[in-house]
Amino acid sequence: MKFRRLQITDLDAVAGLETAVQVHPWTPAQIREVGDLLAHHYSAWVATGEEQICGYLIVQRVVDAFEILTIGVSQADQGRGVGFALWQYAWADLRVTYPEIHTCFLEVRESNQAARALYARCGFEPVGRRRYYYQNPSEDALILQKNDDHSNLS
C-alpha cells in the first residue's frame, strides 16, 4: 500500500469510489470541484494498491482546525487497516504543513459502528451531537474531535 497527495488526475477514480462505498455519496461534480479547492483550504490523499486507488481522504482547513469531509475505502480493502493507515499518513502531512493547527473534527452517523471504531482508533473522541443531521433515514450525527500536540503525530 502506498499513500500520496491526491492529484487532479485522481478525481474521476475517487468519484467512482465515493459512489461505490458511500450511502449518500458526493456527486462526481462535487468531487471534481475538490481539485479547484486544493490550492486553497482543502487537502486530500489517496491510498493505492497495485496502481489503483483503493482509498481517499478529503479534509478542509477551517480557521484553526481541520474537518474531515469524506473518507472511503474500496469494499475489497475494507477491514484491512487502509483507512487507519491513510489517516496516519494524512495527519502527519497536515501536522508538518500546518504545525499551528492541532485539532480535527468530523461528523459520523451514530449507527455507523465501523466508522466510529476507525475514528476511535485514530484518536477521535465524541464532543457533541447534531440532532437529525443525516436524512434518509433521519439520524443524529456524533461530532468527534482529535487534539494533538507537537509530540504526538499519530
- Per-residue pLDDT reduced to its tens digit, 108-136: 999 999 999 999 999 999 999 999 999 88
The whole-angstrom separation of Cα 96 and Cα 93 is 5
Q: What are the phi and psi torsion angles at 149 (to 5°)?
A: -115, 180
Minimum mean pLDDT range among 14-23, 89-98, 143-152: 143-152
CB 56 within 8 A of CB 17: yes
Whether this model's pTM surpasses 0.85: yes
